[in-house]
Amino acid sequence: MYQICCITAAAKKALKEKSALSYTPLKYENRIEFQFLPEKKLFSTKKYKAENVLAWYDCCIKKGMYDIKLLAPVAVKDRSILGFSNTTLSSLVCFYEGGKVTYFSAQWEFDSDLKMWNILYTEQEWKDAPLEKPHFDNNIDGFKSVLSEIKELAYKIGCDDFAVIFQKAIDILLGSSDYTDIAYHMPLPEIPEENLHLFEAASTADVFGAMGSWNDSPPYMAHEKGLDKEYEFLSSELLKQVRLATLYAINEW
């Protein structure tokens, strides 16, 4: 999710400034490729694969791309799967002159020898795409509200460490620049400051993973306190607000 957000932001910035795209791969990324849709020529079919993010962007520009959006679902059937690769269902949506719309979805594969990831984005045509592009509203109020509620739940069930995380996300929404991703030496997306606060709050509050995450012990601890329904409702609402904040932060500027 972090990677696709950074690629979208970098492409959006380059489009706005009519400049070359700048993207810094993360330390765990080995290869990022983009498989474009086949193009029918006079006597053959051409299949082009861009070998990196810059080559992908240049090809999109040549094809007439004038805008780009990040799309991702705000709900999932099973939050426990979010600790694994290829489960975010996010896409890069490209808008071209003439009305064509396509999207790229990623498939991550781990290279056990290099201890790094190879990522292949594959393009699909968005047939019958809506006439209006997706638009996202600033959800800061709803985000702060659910963070406050789930923080209190975390204290109730004895998950104080998670309560601290939720409070840090609130602090970032309120203006703190103690960004979690800086501590991990992650290159932040180049987006406006207001958007960056939302993005980093969402990154901080995205506690849905595998072992040791909000998906692991907390549901059982909530069950022991008779707070199953509250845990389920607030967890679903938190994921929704995290995704909405991410979509607004990356797309709306």
* pLDDT grade for 131, boundaries at 50, 70 and 90: confident
Residue corresponding to tokens 């607030």: 234
Mean pLDDT of 101-110: 97
Mean pLDDT of 116-125: 98
Q: What angle do CA 3, 137, 187 make, to 5 degrees?
A: 25
Q: Where are the domains of the chain?
A: 2-125, 140-251
Q: pTM here?
A: 0.94
Q: Please tell me the predicted confidence (pLDDT) of residue 40.
A: 83
| 185 burial type by CB count under 10 A (0-12 exposed, 13-18 middle, 19+ buried) | exposed
35 has which bridge partners? 49, 122
pLDDT digits (tens, 9 = 90+) for 193-249: 999 999 999 999 999 988 899 999 999 999 999 999 999 999 999 999 999 999 999
Asked if residues 2 and 24 have their Cβ atoms less than 8 Å apart, the reply is no
Mean pLDDT of 169-176: 97
Asked if residues 244 and 140 have their Cβ atoms less than 8 Å apart, the reply is no
| 227 burial type by CB count under 10 A (0-12 exposed, 13-18 middle, 19+ buried) | middle
pLDDT digits (tens, 9 = 90+) for 24-80: 999 999 999 999 999 887 777 889 999 999 999 999 999 999 999 999 999 988 888
Alpha carbon 73 to chain centroid distance?
10
Q: Please tell me the predicted confidence (pLDDT) of residue 210.
A: 84
Q: Please tell me the predicted confidence (pLDDT) of residue 116.
A: 97
Pairing of strands 116-125, 91-96: unpaired
150: its two tokens = 């789930």
pLDDT digits (tens, 9 = 90+) for 136-151: 999 999 999 999 999 9
Mean pLDDT of 163-174: 98
Q: How far apart are CA 126 and CA 106, in angstroms?
A: 16
The DSSP result for 225-249, as a single string, is: TT-HHHHHHHHHHHHHHHHHHHHHH
pLDDT for 171 beyond 90: yes
Q: How far apart are CA 219 and CA 86, in angstroms?
A: 24
| 206 burial type by CB count under 10 A (0-12 exposed, 13-18 middle, 19+ buried) | buried
69: its two tokens = 């959006």
* pLDDT grade for 19, boundaries at 50, 70 and 90: very high
